[in-house]
Amino acid sequence: MSQVPSAADRVYLVTGGNAGIGYFTAEQLAGTGATVVLGSRSAERAEAAMDAIRARVPGARVRSVGLDLADLGSLRETAESLEAERLDAVVHNAGVLHEGLERRETRDGNEVHFGTNHLGHFALTHWLLPLLEAAPSARVVTVGSFAAKSERLALDDLQSRTGYRAKRTYGRSKLAQMYFGLELDRRLRAAGSTVSSVVVHPGGALDSLTPSRPPVHVRTAGAALRGAAAALVLQGKHAGARPAVRAVLDPRIAGGELWGPRVFGLRGRPHRERLWAQLEDVETARRLWEASTELTGVAPAAAVRSTRPAGSGAQ
């Protein structure tokens, strides 16, 4: 998009909006005049992020809401605490990467990457649907990862109980998110919903190529120098946020599409990508959905017709 459209009447939620790509997504969306809500586990970090956004975007309308994706039982309360009549988009950005050797679990007993990155967003979407349905044409934007491109889901071991490796498990959890985003759109279309679902990824986004936003992120001169060579093929997190921002704002983007950086999928302006081979596997997406429904006890998009407020409808 050559110009960022005004979105002064819109409300957007960014999960994990207090740091990294989530922060820059929130900052860029705040520049449109929209109300941007940062979902964060830490009220202190959310406050620091909001201060940083206000310093860059005069008059920014930002606020925060407590969000712990690792606690499935808390997500209904998170949705209710938004205190909004409608939600025009949610950016499912938050994620964890624990690099230790030992497998860890959430309080619900799910493997921590799969439980937080995928199941948390899966359940949160269910509770947000009434607010999304209340908007004329809301959008769910799921942020995957380029690291997921080389992974395949193990449907018989979604909880990574066998041969656990942190980075592989992280990549698979992000791949599960991407399957979810695509399957969600298929189910929304089948239900006649006005909500659409788009999947994006940030490419290769490094802290060393990311401009400072104190106190959220401070790039030292040494880090910038060390990252200079990487700039030939990778980019900073401010650029990594652009596919998600484009997916929120551009009405020409259709549900079920995949967007990422233009240059080898690693850097550059956002563009539409062909679905990765594994993401075209509709049967795997269906089976993952069924497993996720069983593990969370909710089924996003299963009853969107009943969540639509009286008097609304397809527009």
> Which H or E run contains 96?
none
CA diameter of the chain: 58
Q: Two tokens at 101?
A: 């050797």
Residue 244, CA distances (Å) to 93, 102, 126, 201 in order = 9, 32, 20, 8
Question: Taking the alpha carbons of 279, 282, 285, 287 in that order, is the dihedral positive or negative?
Answer: negative
Question: Phi and psi dihedrals of 222, rounded to 5?
Answer: -65, -45
Residue 285 to residue 196: CA distance in whole angstroms: 17
Let me know the angle formed at the C-alpha of 151 by 121 and 154, rounded to the nearest 5 degrees: 75
> Which H or E run contains 61?
strand 61-66
Q: Is 170 a catalytic residue?
A: yes
Non-local (6+) Cβ contacts of 77 within 8 A are: none
Answer for the pair 178, 148: CB distance below 8 angstroms, yes or no: yes
Half-sphere exposure of 139 (CA within 13 A, CB side): 24
Q: Two tokens at 39?
A: 């979902």
Residue 165 to residue 178: CA distance in whole angstroms: 20
Amino acid at 24: F
Choosing from 12, 23, 164, 170, the catalytic residue is 170
Q: Which residues are catalytic?
A: 170
